[in-house]
Structure 1
C-alpha cells in the first residue's frame, strides 16, 4: 500500500505529536512561544557544531539549545532587560553565529531548506528510535515535574510559598523544550517546530474547559495534523513539514467555530 519511507515518516510524526502536545500546552499557558522560537533558532548553531566536530546532530542541538536556555535564565536574573529583548538577542545572535559558521565550513554541503523546514520523509529507523525513546524520557520527566510546573504557571508566589521550587521546575522544563527540538529538527525543521508546539495547543484551548482536556485535545490535534499533513503531501506533492503545519492551522481555524457556537449557546 505505502512505501517504507512513508510509514517511517508517519511513525516518527506520531511520536513527535505525542510529545509536543503536553509541552505545547505549557508553552501556551506560560506565554513562551517566542522562547520556543529562540531555542529553535539556536538549533542551527547546534547543527553546525555537529558537522564541525562530527557529533550526533540531535545530541549537539540538545546541548546548544540547553546552554542557550540556561543562559537566558541567568540573564533574566542579572540584567534589567525585559524578557522579549533577551529572547530576541539570543535568538538572532545564535542564528547569526550558526550562519557564520556555515560560511566557514566550505568543505561541507548543507541542505539549508532541509534544516529550515525538515524532511520527515527522509527519516531512518534510528531516527524513529531517537524520537520515541527520547520522547518517552521527556514525558516521564514532565509527569514528575507536572505539579510544581503547573502550580508555578498558575501562581508563582504561591508555588514558592508551598516549597514546590518553581525555579527548578522551570529550568527542567526549558531543557525539555530543548530536547523536543533536538529530536524533531530533522523531521520538521527549525522554523516549523514551534508551530508543532503552539498551534495544536492553541486549537485545544479553544475547545477545552480544563487543563486535562486541553492536553488531550492538543495531542489529538497534533496526531491529526501529522496524519492529514502527510497524506495531503503525498496526494498533492507538497513539502511534508509545511503540509503538517498547514493541516494544524486548518484544525485551529475549525476550532474557532466551536468558540462561536459556545457563544451562541450562552446567549
Structure 2
C-alpha cells in the first residue's frame, strides 16, 4: 500500500463531511436563539405544523418539477404567513388554527405524494434527515441567511424580548409588534425548512426547543439564554454526528438524542445549583 493512500482517504473524507458539518453548525447557530423565541412565545406546536408543511413542499416540488428545497422553504413560509394572519381571529385560538393547518397540510401532502409517485420520494431521508445530502450551496445559503438573521437579532433584540414578555407594553413603547411577529415566524419557518435536511421532518421541532429549554434552566437573562441555547445546539450536533459515524446510526435521531442528554444534564445541574 502506497503512503499516499491515507492522505487521499483523509482528503476524500474532508470533501465528504465538510459541507454537512458546516451546514449543521449554521443550523445550530440559528436554531439556538430562534428556539428561545419559540419557547418564550409558546410556539412549540408551530414547529410540528411547519414539519407537515415541509412534507407538502416535497410533494409540490415533485408535482411542479421544481427544486424540492425551494418548494419546502416556500411551503413553510406560506404557512407562517397564513398563521400570522389567522392568529388574529378572535373566535378560534392559535392552538386550534395550528391543529387545522398542521393536519390539513399533512393530509394534503400524503395525497400529493401518492399522486406524484411515492417511489420518486426518499421519504426516509425527509422524515429522519440525511445530513450527508448537504451541499456547499446549502452552506452558502445558510451562511448568508445566518448573517442577515444575526444582524436583525442584534439590532432589534431588546424590542423582540419586550414583545415576548408583553405585547401591550411593546405597543406602548412604539415597537412594530405585528411586523416583528411576522419576521420572526418567517425566520423560524426558513430555519425549520433548512433543518429538515439535518434531522428530518419528524424531529425538526426538537432541534429548536430542546437546546432552548436546556438553556432556560441555567440562565438568568434572555441574552445568556440565547448564548447557552446556541452552545447546547452545537454540543448536541457534535455529539450526535460523532455517535452517528461511530455506531453507524441515523444522524438526525442521534443529534436529537444528544440534545435530550444535554437537557437532562442541564436539569440536574440546575437542581444542584439551586440547592447551594
Partner of 2:223: 212
Q: CA deviation at 1:142?
A: 3.2
- Residues 1-267 of structure 1: matches in 2 within 5 Å? 1=10, 3=13, 4-106=15-117, 109-265=120-276
8 Å CA contact 1:229–1:247 kept in 2: the answer is: yes
- Please report the TM-score for the alignment, with normalisation by the length of structure 1: 0.94
Give a deviation string over 1:8-28, Cα, whole Å, max 9, x none: 222211111011001001111
Once residues 73 and 155 of structure 2 are traced to their aligned partners in structure 1, the CA distance between those partners, rounded to angstroms, is 20
Once residues 257 and 187 of structure 1 are traced to their aligned partners in structure 2, the CA distance between those partners, rounded to angstroms, is 28
Q: CA deviation at 1:163?
A: 1.3
- Please report the TM-score for the alignment, with normalisation by the length of structure 2: 0.91
Once residues 117 and 141 of structure 1 are traced to their aligned partners in structure 2, the CA distance between those partners, rounded to angstroms, is 31
From the CA coordinates, give the structure whose radius of gyration is larger: 2
With over 3 angstroms needed to count, the CA separation of the structure-2 counterparts of 1:148 and 1:42, relative to structure 1, is same
Q: CA deviation at 1:108?
A: 5.5
> The residue matched to 2:121 in structure 1 has which SS?
coil
Unaligned runs of 5+ in 2: 1-9
Q: CA deviation at 1:79?
A: 4.8
How many matched pairs?
265
Once residues 113 and 156 of structure 2 are traced to their aligned partners in structure 1, the CA distance between those partners, rounded to angstroms, is 37
8 Å CA contact 1:5–1:123 kept in 2: the answer is: no
Once residues 199 and 234 of structure 1 are traced to their aligned partners in structure 2, the CA distance between those partners, rounded to angstroms, is 22
> The residue matched to 2:88 in structure 1 has which SS?
helix
- Aligned alpha-carbon RMSD (Å): 1.6
Q: CA deviation at 1:48?
A: 1.4
> The residue matched to 1:80 in structure 2 has which SS?
coil
Unaligned runs of 5+ in 1: none
Once residues 169 and 147 of structure 1 are traced to their aligned partners in structure 2, the CA distance between those partners, rounded to angstroms, is 12
Partner of 2:5: none
> The residue matched to 2:179 in structure 1 has which SS?
helix
